[in-house]
Structures are given as structure tokens and as C-alpha cells.
Structure 1
């Protein structure tokens, strides 16, 4: 694939806070369109997991950036492999998520992962979910969606996900952690969480995943270039 053709492959970006349903929705939209999907948050979680396993201090920006740059990661058939190990579930641990939110504030880490994220842009198209997909990584995307949901709804959603997986969860603790992560993500100096100027904001608090996916597909039909 030439760099030119990759540059012009269409992209739909889906940004939003933690547990707003971005991942599920992005996969649903990508499946409907036959496109690839980029879970950018997984790259930050992988960086966090690898740093934790190496006992690197949470504030060691340069060391963590070096980890991000050298990540040995593969996405295969729905599984996420780190150095050949399946870490699909491990990176969803709450400690890893909180650490990822911290290291994502480091400009050096974001710079280390930027080229990796843009390399996912290939024909026939890409659905990219994260926190700065529309503002930083793919600012020329023809469709940018900023997915929001009430923080209580998001905490309940995450609590149910954990319990369904057999992982103990406390709603009060999750709500506190989520508010702290929202504050870090929106207030950081490097690529803060915010909608792109031309993003369509979509509140999924009272929508099912299927309804949210369909709404985004309808948005795409509105802006998609004629074939």
C-alpha cells in the first residue's frame, strides 16, 4: 500500500471519555462498512502494562516513551498480543486503565505513538476510536464523532462489564475513578479530550449500542463522497 493511497483512505473518528461505548461502537461501524478499526486506547494501555511490568515509575516520562516506541504488539483476530502474549483482558484491568490515563498526558509518549496510529489508515477505510483521533491524529477525517454519556451511566456500564466478566466491581469506586480520569483527560496540556470543531456530538446515555452505531452510519451516508 503506497503512502499516498493510505493518506486518502477515508477515516471516521470516534472520540469520547472512558466507558462512553467507543470501542463497541467503533467495531460495529467498522464491521458494517467492511473497514479496519483502530483502538488507540489499547496502545496507551499496552504502554501502561509494559511499564508496570518493568517497574517503571509513573512519572518517568522518557522511560515510558521509550517503552511506547519499542512496543512489540500485534492485533490478531480480536486478540491483542504483547511480546507474543495474549493481553486482551490484562490491559482492561482498572489499574492499567488509570496508569494509561496518566502516561497519556506525557507529550513524549503521545509523540512516540502518533506514527503508529496513522499507519492504520489503509483502504478501504478506518474507524478510529480514542480521545484525540479527530483533533490530532486524523484532523482531516471526513466524519468526526464525539461520543458522550452521563458519567453515572458510564460508571454503571463499566461496572456491569466487569461483573459480567467475573471481576469484582464497586460502583462508588468506579464513579470516583472515572471522574478523576475525565479530569486528567480534559485538563492535560498535550492533546486534551475535547471535540474537534467540526465533530458531531452524540449522547449515547439513553441509546443502545445498535442505535448508536446506526446513527453514525447515517452520519456517514450524509458525508460520504459519491463513488
Structure 2
């Protein structure tokens, strides 16, 4: 049976990564979290003083892009790959609200997107991959056999993100999380380079009132139907 490419795009906190991990595991495919790559570059930019509340040295960041080393390493215990930045596991650091506040700004930089898109395309050249992000179906894999566009209400997504951050021990306020979700939606949808939009042929999937298991079963069914046609 031929393998396919599955592209999952959508707004922040719609559960793209969760369903992508589940789907990849069920199908025996490789899972790639493209968002983790943008978050890692954002962490690099913050740690090196290229961005911040009163700092915007994007040109300096662009000059350093060739030297930033990104790598996914599979964690057998977790069952999925984790993000490494310059040889260091940064999976925990890149999931913080602080990174979320700046990642859309960094992701809007065309040079950053070009570097990461090139890496992502290479990862999926042999198919058998599930990749989630903002421009997977539109830019990275426009010919993917299955394209999904995940959505949910801003309030629902903020509640999910809020709970996730609390579970990680972060001291956050729900209003700040909701504001972050709304800001990211605007930036992601209005950037000049690869704006967030539903890809041609993508299936829109609203999971506002849907449980994880129900969501997984429905999407797995979609994937199996597409694979059977290959």
C-alpha cells in the first residue's frame, strides 16, 4: 500500500499536534511538528537579544540563520520526536507563553520561513509523513494527498492553552492567554509571507465541541479512505 503525505494546518491551540501525533503513530508514519521549529528559532532570538519588549534586531537574526541547528530526535519513552536547538533539548522551553508571544512575529520573517520550509520539504520527500503547522498544505506540501484545516472558537482554544500552561506549572492569567490566541490569529492570517489560510482541497475540521477520541476516529477514517485509493 502506497504511503501518502498528510498536511494539517490551522489556528493555534486547535489540537493540530495532538491529532498529528496520534495519526502518525496509528499509520506508522513520521510526525513533524513544524511549529516547534519556529518556536526554537524564537527561543534562539530571545536568548540572543534579537527580539524583546524593546528590541527588534531581525536583521541580526537573519544573519545568524545559517548557523542555527535544528533537529528532531525521537524519544522512545514519549513515542514522538522532540525539538533540539544547537544540540540541546528545548522541548519544554519552547512551549512557554513567552515564546507564544513572539513566535508569530518571528514566523512572519520571510528568511526564517524559507529556511524552515526547505528543511520541512526535505523531511517529507519520501512521503509517509504527517506534518502540522500554518502553511503545510499551501506552501510546504501543496500536493499532499490529505489536507486538513483545523479550527475552533478562540475561547475554546484559549481554555485549552490555559489548562496546558497551568499543567506545566506556569503562572498565567486566562485573559492573557485569550489575548495571545487572538493576536496570533491576526498576525498569522495577515502576514505577507505564507499567511494562514485554508489550502485548496483542504477539509475544514471544527473541533470546538469534539472530544479527542471522536476527533481521532473521524480523521483516521479520512486518512484510511485516502490511502485505500492510492
Q: Shared topology, TM-score over 0.5?
A: yes
Work out whether 1:174 is the aligned partner of 2:177: yes
Instruction: Supply the distance in 2 between the matched residues of 1:186 and 1:152 (Cα, whole angstroms).
Output: 18
SS at match of 1:139: coil
Match of 2:28 in 1: 34
**Counterparts in 2 of 1:183-198, with a 5 A limit?**
183-198=186-201
Corresponding residue number in structure 2 for 1:61: 58
Instruction: Tell me how far apart the structure 2 counterparts of residues 182 and 112 of structure 1 sit (CA, whole Å).
Output: 23
Paired residue total: 220
CA shift for structure 1 position 225: 4.7
C-alpha distance after superposition, 1:64-109 (max 9, x if no partner)? 2344443222222133222222211100111112211101111111
- 1:211 Cα deviation from its structure 2 partner: 1.7
| Corresponding residue SS for 2:62 | helix
- Which residue does 1:162 correspond to in 2? 165
RMSD, matched Cα: 1.7
Change (3 A) 1:210 1:123: farther
Whether the 8 Å CA contact 1:51–1:67 is kept in 2: the answer is no
Secondary structure (helix, strand or coil) at the match of 2:204 reads: strand
Task: Give secondary structure in 1 for the equivalent of 2:144.
Answer: coil
CA distance in 1, matches of 2:227, 2:3: 12
Name the residue aligned to 1:3. none
What pairs with 1:85-96 in structure 2 (closer than 5 Å)? 85-96=88-99
Q: After the TM superposition, which of the residue ranges 31-40 and 58-67 deviates more from structure 2?
A: 58-67
CA distance in 2, matches of 1:96, 1:156: 18
Assess, with a 3 A threshold, how the Cα gap between structure 1 residues 176 and 204 changes in structure 2: closer, same or farther.
same
Q: Are 1:145 and 1:201, in contact at CA under 8 Å, matched by a contact in 2?
A: yes
Matches within 5 A, 1:93-172: 93-121=96-124, 123=126, 125-172=128-175
TM alignment of 1:67-78, pairs within 5 A: 67-76=64-73, 77=75, 78=81
> Who is 1:4 aligned against?
none
Q: Which TM-score applies when normalising by structure 1?
A: 0.91
Single out whichever of 203-212 and 181-190 deviates more from structure 2.
203-212
Structure 2, unmatched stretches of 5+, are: 76-80
Relative distance call for 1:24 and 1:139 in structure 2 (3 A) is same
Alignment TM-score, normalising by the size of structure 2: 0.89
- Deviation readout 1:154-189 (Å, 9 max, x if unpaired): 000011111111111211111111111100000111
Deviates more, 1:54-63 or 1:175-184: 54-63
Distance (Å, rounded) in 1 between the aligned partners of 2:9 and 2:66: 23
The structural deviation recorded for 1:123 is 4.3
Q: Distance in 2 between matches of 1:9 and 1:219?
A: 14
